[in-house]
Amino acid sequence: MKRTRALSLTALVAGTALVLSSCGGSVGGNSAATPATTAPSVAATSSSSEASSGAMSSDSSAAPTSSAASDSLADTINIGYEQATGGYNCNTAATNSVYCAYVDNVTQGAFVHVQPDGSIKPDTEFGTYEKTSDDPLTVKYTFADKAVWSDGTPIDYDDALLAWAAYSGTHPGGKDADGNATDLFQAASTNGWAQVKMPEGKAGDKSFTMVFTDPYADWEVLGAGFMPAHIAAKGAGLSTDGDGAALVAAIQNNDTATITKIADFWNTGWDYEVDLPKLPDTAILPSSGPYKVQNGSNGNLTLVKNDKWWGTPAKTNTLVFKLVSDQEWVQAMANGEIDSFDPSNVTGDIVDQLKAKPDAISYKVGEGYTFSHIDFDTSPEGKLANPKIRQAFMKCVPRQELVDKFAKPVFDGAQILNLREFLPAQGNYKDILSQVPSATLYDKVDIAGAKALLTEAGVTQPYDIRFIRSGKSSLRGDQVQVIKASCDQAGFNIIDQPDDDVFTTLTTRGTWDVAVFGWSGSGLVASGQSIYVTGGSQNFGGYSDPIVDAAWDKVVRTVDRTKAEELKVPMEEQLWANPYNLTLYANPGLVAFSSKLSGAVYNPTQAGVTWNAYEWTKTK
């Protein structure tokens, strides 16, 4: 998966995001934050340095506050990132990644934003919302009167209706290879939106109302993920006159032929070429946040202040996202080439390098919301459809060795992760773990047991396993070699397959057997649903289990968070009994800032390092 944090509002909409490494670690509103939740939502990552909202050990202070006069401030802040964003629409299954969310945080507005403590803060500059009924759950949203896209087009009902069409899963698009129904819109997730009726309103309205068919635990975060409907309409060959009346009519009348054209553009029309060699016409990339896209090339992306932004202006004129190798970013920051970095691949060596540069760099490290895991292709066309083969593989993976080599050098408190919806940084982790008896069955390597299970499965040994991982993460490559050294003794033949486009490969079952990457959490209750349920948009391996499906069906309809967490216990047990994946550890999180940077605050949730970048300043 990709390193994304489903709640960046990409994250909020998608529920989870991808990360490729293994160690690691929104526009501000005026309303008070609501209480933080306890269950994580997830986003995928490929490294192990994703962060969590757990207690952080501060090896260096957070980015310092500056009192320098404005004439001493720099005009540009450079934000390093490991992988170029895949597109402007971060909410598709192909683009939903942390790297896309970094940009989305400052270019796309939303009704709420995730705070560092995991709480949800309304953004009253973007608009307001009010729950008007509990039965049925009903929420009225109102875009700010002055809210416009950066090309001057009003943000209104057609944008909200397009969001519903894209995320609701209500437009059948046939069947996938496993016979599961697909949707015309290839959204990263339909979590929550699948329980929303078509929003009430008409073209040009600043307000719209969402009525839920069932209660939804995380209803408050659905006011996000809005893409410019007028651009999608143009891309589909529709008129944009009358405040998007043609697009509104097509969706309200369920005009499948026209909706198909709209969906085709929504799915790929905002995509960038791989590694971002150049941008498409910026006219199709209007912003609803404090920054807008100006240009991009060679993986780098330049944003400038949005002159049509109606809210509090950004403090720095230009943000440049610079592509930086995970092997070179510390030196790049020390040289002044970048001013912030949220690495997915953190090692003890990196921490030592940072300690040696206290005058140039400040950083924080601790246990995070992201967790590393190994996913299985359990589909009929995959080589791990038989649970015995999965169990054999799990018995030979040296999880404690992986923790000791790749997590503990960064955070000494790192441990084997034995749950999927709960992390060690959360206060109820140990209590939930005590209720899941199968969770510790694979803590220790059992070569003999693995061999016996392979024999029972009746497969020819050595049994080839195609192990995909990010080709851009040396840490993931090292991890695969550690696993190979153990599992090859158990009757497997681990074939390392580095892949520079892991996320695309993951969507094609039968082309891989196991994959190592990370999910980045948000603190929400229901965001993990699309990862585990049958036919889920983030269920890359085609896993299906009726007990798991039934548990999720209850969880997402339970507004009481404590009760929802209790309902996850039998699901956690079943995910071991009929293995979905093999969890490794909660990734140590680290974020670093130039000592010249002010206003930056570490956010271990899926929102990521740029969650408040519009408030950053830098001294010259």
Measured from the Cβ of residue 79, the count of other Cβ atoms closer than 10 Å reads: 25
CA dist 277 → 274, 301, 338, 415, 426 (Å)? 7, 10, 20, 40, 41
Residue 12 has pLDDT above 70, yes or no: no
Do 334 and 441 share a domain, yes or no? no
Query: What is the strand order of the sheet 137-143 is part of?
Result: 127-134, 137-143, 207-211
Residue 21 sits at φ, ψ, to 5 deg, of: -90, -170
- Per-residue pLDDT at 399: 98
pLDDT band at 361 (very low <50, low <70, confident <90, very high): very high
Strands (E), 512-569: 514-520
Please indicate, yes or no, if residue 580 is contained in any of the structural domains: yes
- What is the pLDDT of the chain when averaged over all its residues? 87
Does residue 175 lie in a domain region?
no
pLDDT of residue 62: 41
Q: Tell me how far apart the alpha carbons of residues 349 and 13 are, in angstroms, rounded to a whole number.
A: 36
3-state secondary structure of 455: helix
Q: 554 and 496 in one domain?
A: yes
Is residue 383, in this structure, part of any structural domain at all? Answer: yes
Q: Are residues 424 and 569 in the same domain?
A: yes
Structure tokens at 166: 């894209």
With 90 as the cut, is the pLDDT of residue 260 above it?
Answer: yes
Q: For residue 533, what pLDDT is reported?
A: 95
Greatest distance between any 2 Cα atoms in the chain: 73
Structure tokens at 370: 């992201």
Q: How confident is the model at residue 327 (pLDDT cuts 50, 70, 90)?
A: confident
Residues 352 and 328 in one domain: yes
Distance (Å, whole) CA 338 – CA 599: 16
Q: Identify whether residues 408 and 552 lie together within a single domain.
A: yes
Domain of residue 297, residue span: 282-366+589-619
Strands 463-470 and 514-520: what pairing? Answer: parallel
Cβ-contact 142, 129 below 8 angstroms: yes
Give me 143's structure tokens.
């875009």
Q: Give the pLDDT score at 19.
A: 57
Q: Is the pLDDT of residue 469 over 70?
A: yes
Residues 290 and 415 reside in one and the same domain: no
CA distance 589 to 163: 32
Q: Work out the pLDDT band at 292, boundaries 50, 70, 90.
A: very high
In-domain check, residue 44: no
Three-class SS of 357-408: CCCCEEEEEEEEEEEEEEEECCCCCCCCCCHHHHHHHHHHCCHHHHHHHHCC
Domain contains 265: no
DSSP line for 103-135: HHHHHS--SEEE-TTS-EEE-TTTEEEEEEEET
Question: 471 is written with which tokens?
Answer: 């080709």
Give the domain CATH number at 295: 3.40.190.10
Is the pLDDT assigned to residue 1 strictly greater than 60? no
* Same domain, yes or no: 462 and 568: yes
Average the pLDDT over 453-469 and give the result: 97
The model's confidence at residue 428, banded by pLDDT at 50, 70 and 90, is confident
pLDDT at 52 over 50: no
| Residue 400, domain CATH | 3.10.105.10
pLDDT over 70 (residue 581): yes
CA–CA gap between residue 408 and residue 401 (Å, rounded):
10
Q: Which helix (H) or strand (E) holds 333?
A: helix 329-334
pLDDT of residue 584: 97
Asked if the model's pLDDT at residue 254 lies above 50, the reply is: yes
Distance separating alpha carbons of residues 45 and 375, to the nearest angstrom:
12
Contacts for 615 with CB less than 8 Å, ≥ 6 apart: 28, 314, 315, 599
In the predicted structure, residue 28 carries a pLDDT above the cut 50 = no
Is 304 inside a domain boundary? yes
- 510 within domain boundaries: yes
- Phi first, then psi, for residue 367 (nearest 5°) are -75, 140
- Tens digit of pLDDT for each residue in 379-421? 998 999 999 999 999 999 999 999 999 999 988 889 999 999 9
Q: Are residues 442 and 459 in the same domain?
A: yes
395 and 522 co-located in one domain: yes
Higher-confidence position of 368 and 550? 550
DSSP-derived secondary structure for 205-238? -SEEEEEBSS--TTGGGGS-----HHHHHHHTT-
The pLDDT, as a whole number, for residue 189 is 86
Q: Is the pLDDT of residue 114 over 90?
A: no
Residues 362 and 381 in one domain: no
Phi, psi of 368 (to 5 degrees): -120, 180
Same domain (yes/no): 571, 602: no
DSSP 8-state symbol, 416? B
What secondary structure letter does DSSP report for 272? P
Least confident of 259-268, 420-429, 527-536: 420-429
Q: What is the pLDDT of residue 504?
A: 86
Share of the chain above pLDDT 90, in %: 70
- Together in a domain, 470 and 596: no
What's the pLDDT band for 97 if we cut at 50, 70, 90? confident
Q: ∠ at Cα 102 (8, 365), nearest 5°? A: 90
Q: What domain count does the chain have?
A: 2
Percent of the chain at pLDDT > 70 equals 87
- Chain length of the chain: 620
Inside any domain, residue 228: no
pTM of the model: 0.73
Contact criterion met (CB below 8 Å) for 179 and 534 = no
CB 95 within 8 A of CB 310: no
